Amino acid sequence: MQAIDLHVHSTHSDGTCTTKELVDLAIYKGLKAIALTDHDTTAGLEEIMEYAKDKNIEIIPGIELSTEYFGRDIHILGLYINPYNPQFQEHLIVFQESRINRNRKMCENLAAQGIDITYEDLMNTFKGAVVTRAHYARYLLDKGYVKSMKEAFERYVGDHCKAFVPREKITPSQAVSLILKAGGIPVLAHPILYHLSDANLDKLVAELKEAGLMGIEAVYSTYAPSEERYVKRLAAKYDLLVTGGSDFHGTNKKDIDLGNGRGHLFVPEELLDKIKTAYLSRYVPYEKNRKSVLFFDLDGTLLNDEKTISPRTRAALEACVRKGHVFVISSGRAYSSIIQIVKRLGLENCSPLISSFNGSQIYQLKNREMLHSAKLSLDIIAKIRDLAKAMGLHLQSYSDTKVLTESINKNVTFYCEYVKNDYELLPDIAEEGLESYKLLAIDLDNRELLENFRSKVEELCAGQVQCFFSNDWFLEILPYGTTKGTALRFVCDYANIDLKYSYAFADAENDLPMLEAAAYPTVLLNGISQAKAAARFITFTDNNHEGLAPFLEKLAE
């Protein structure tokens, strides 16, 4: 069994290792997973997850929030938080502003004691970090004012020193609530370190459990065996998950090593399995056997980068269909392209509904029935075509079976190979009878040009079209009021299933309306940040590593 470490800090707060160094060290030590839990910031999460995505290690997005309870510092960890949640980030900005005010005052207090320091000097020394008292101690040590970090705390920045300034903090219960709203698992960090009496610690845990606490850090670097047993008894008493971590800070805590603490720490991977199960427990409505509508984007979501579905994901999907859930493919692709994928992957038996062209066309495969369609007028197509020509952009339209283009170039040939669709060369894509479900502007080299084109199209055809990127190369142009979100609502009505039982699985910008419409918006780990900001759930792994499988298995139970 491999070890994990669910409490780790980087240079984005008061650790001395960069996120890259943390990943490399964790791999060297053979850890299966680590949680980055910097103080009051998620600044390092995107870069650590990007660096680790092709490596054999899982990164759990986390945070450690500083709170106050009757004059004591209490820390609450959040595991599997959604760092893109806008409301959560707004709260973090308030926390950071409080730190800034506190740090300015502490610099003034240190200067009054003869220390050559300004707030600007401090921030330039620790660029990009959320500055804590450990940074002050490091600064004083490096400048020769003290001989150790310990001395810096004892003489200058400890709780009872003249330079110390307390910071406005939220309560532990408020921190638990914030983490829950950000989709995370709230955990009481290192409870033994607070030196509370047994009765007061029990009272704190009871209060936090009432607020929604889900875990307690029972395996920790500095615990004696008896202390670990005591915290585990608390966990059992209040039905809390057991978590564990080193609280690794690099050289700021020289006696604490990543993964094994002071040499004897071992946090087993089975604890992480239980945490994931708890995360997924929120994924099914109380009416567990109710049928749901499951909307799947294709590229980057249901399909891996090889355009296939893993055996585990397929088995889970088929189990969902057997249970009665309605399987819907929702893609920007043409119906003719989607049906090729359905046949190639043998998904006909799942009897999917197909929402093609980003919702402009909805088709019932089992009955071979068109349920809904919406097209752009020839006048609009001509206007946008002329603008694309003036800007030197490739623009294509669609028939029911082919891509329609006025020129053959690398953009259209790339696209047709990408989606396995044929093209037809025409002198005029705005010719009578060629109304289209959508237009697609493509530029493989210049996203900025597409952005500029988008702005001009939305101004030229205000109230008639809407535009979304499906990736960095493709700008989708749709009839106004037609999106993957309107398609999801249409299908819920068609299937007579309440919208509160709707699930959307996605990764890109053109999926945003679908994510906003669904009761359970779920974004793949490889999804763009805007999609994750709209998500209620983010998968543990990406589309190439069976990201959907655990969620579909939960729905199929």
- Contact between 35 and 246 (Cβ < 8 Å): no
- pLDDT value, residue 96: 80
Q: Alpha-carbon distance 207 to 544, whole Å? A: 41
Which DSSP symbol is given to 5? E
Instruction: Residue 150: count other Cβ atoms within 10 Å of its Cβ.
Output: 12
For the chain, give the mean pLDDT.
94
Domain boundary, last residue among 448, 479, 510: 479
Say yes or no: 337 and 467 in one domain: no
Domain boundary, last residue among 479, 512, 531: 479
CATH number at residue 417: 3.30.1240.10
Question: Per the domain annotation, does 240 fall within a domain?
Answer: yes
- Using one digit for the tens of pLDDT, what is the confidence trace for 243-294? 999 999 999 888 999 999 999 999 999 999 999 999 999 988 877 778 999 9
Say yes or no: 354 and 208 in one domain: no
- Using one digit for the tens of pLDDT, what is the confidence trace for 348-370? 888 899 999 999 999 999 888 99
The residue type found at 377 is S
- pLDDT value, residue 519: 96
Say yes or no: 266 and 322 in one domain: no
Q: Alpha-carbon distance 353 to 368, whole Å? A: 10
- Using one digit for the tens of pLDDT, what is the confidence trace for 108-135? 999 999 999 999 988 899 887 778 888 8
Length of the chain: 557
- Using one digit for the tens of pLDDT, what is the confidence trace for 40-54? 999 999 999 999 988
Runs of H (alpha helix) within 496-539: 512-517, 529-533
Say yes or no: 471 and 488 in one domain: no
Say yes or no: 65 and 182 in one domain: yes
CATH number at residue 124: 1.10.150.650
Q: Give 3-state DSSP helix, strand, coil % of the chain, rounded to 5.
A: 40, 20, 35
- pLDDT value, residue 166: 82
Average pLDDT on 463-477 reads 94
Q: Alpha-carbon distance 21 to 409, whole Å? A: 44
Say yes or no: 229 and 334 in one domain: no
Question: Per the domain annotation, does 162 fall within a domain?
Answer: no
Say yes or no: 118 and 267 in one domain: no
Question: Per the domain annotation, does 288 fall within a domain?
Answer: no
Q: Alpha-carbon distance 328 to 362, whole Å? A: 10
Provide the CA 296 distance to its chain's centre, in angstroms: 17
Is pLDDT at 167 greater than 80 in this prediction? no
Say yes or no: 151 and 31 in one domain: no
- pLDDT value, residue 99: 81
Say yes or no: 145 and 251 in one domain: no
- Among 240, 239, 201, 245, CA closest to 219: 245
- Using one digit for the tens of pLDDT, what is the confidence trace for 296-308? 999 999 999 999 9
Q: Alpha-carbon distance 102 to 33, whole Å? A: 34
Q: Alpha-carbon distance 76 to 283, whole Å? A: 23
Cα distances (angstroms) measured from residue 225 to each of 197, 231, 234, 244, 324: 18, 10, 15, 14, 49
- pLDDT value, residue 72: 84
Question: Per the domain annotation, does 287 fall within a domain?
Answer: no
Q: Alpha-carbon distance 298 to 304, whole Å? A: 9
Is pLDDT at 176 greater than 90 in this prediction? yes
CATH number at residue 200: 3.20.20.140
Question: Per the domain annotation, does 166 fall within a domain?
Answer: no
- Among 169, 202, 196, 197, CA closest to 76: 169
- Using one digit for the tens of pLDDT, what is the confidence trace for 435-453? 999 999 999 999 999 999 9
Say yes or no: 226 and 242 in one domain: yes
Is pLDDT at 178 greater than 90 in this prediction? yes
- pLDDT value, residue 25: 97
418 or 210, which is more confident:
210
Question: Per the domain annotation, does 165 fall within a domain?
Answer: no
Alpha-carbon dihedral angle through residues 513, 519, 525, 529, given to the nearest 10 degrees: 40
Say yes or no: 11 and 22 in one domain: yes
Order the strands of the 520-523 sheet from edge to edge: 369-373, 361-364, 353-356, 326-330, 293-296, 502-506, 520-523, 537-538
What is the model's pTM? 0.85
Provide the CA 215 distance to its chain's centre, in angstroms: 21
- pLDDT value, residue 24: 97
Question: Per the domain annotation, does 438 fall within a domain?
Answer: yes
- Among 301, 304, 92, CA closest to 179: 92
Is pLDDT at 103 greater than 80 in this prediction? yes
- pLDDT value, residue 427: 95
Q: Alpha-carbon distance 449 to 456, whole Å? A: 11
Is pLDDT at 165 greater than 90 in this prediction? no
Say yes or no: 76 and 30 in one domain: yes
Q: What is the 3-state secondary structure (H, E, C) of 349-397?
A: HHCCEEEEHHHCEEEECCCCEEEEECCECHHHHHHHHHHHHHHCCEEEE
Average pLDDT on 157-168 reads 85
| Host H or E run for residue 440 | strand 439-442
- Contact between 490 and 479 (Cβ < 8 Å): no
Q: Is 474 exposed, middle or buried (0-12, 13-18, 19+ CB in 10 A)?
A: buried
Residue 95's pLDDT band, with cuts at 50, 70 and 90, is confident
- Contact between 509 and 528 (Cβ < 8 Å): yes
Is pLDDT at 168 greater than 80 in this prediction? no
Query: Which residues have a Cβ under 8 Å from the Cβ of 145 and sit 6 or more positions away?
Result: 115, 152, 156
Angle between helices 447-460 and 378-391 (to 10 degrees): 140
Q: Alpha-carbon distance 330 to 186, whole Å? A: 34
166 or 172, which is more confident:
172
Is pLDDT at 23 greater than 90 in this prediction? yes
Domain count, the chain: 4
Residue 224 has phi, psi (to 5 degrees) of: -80, 160
Domain boundary, last residue among 415, 446, 479: 479
Average pLDDT on 408-423 reads 93
- pLDDT value, residue 483: 94
Supply the range of the domain harboring residue 449. Answer: 378-479
Question: Per the domain annotation, does 164 fall within a domain?
Answer: no
- Among 96, 103, 98, CA closest to 123: 103
Instruction: Residue 435: count other Cβ atoms within 10 Å of its Cβ.
Output: 18
Q: Alpha-carbon distance 186 to 76, whole Å? A: 7
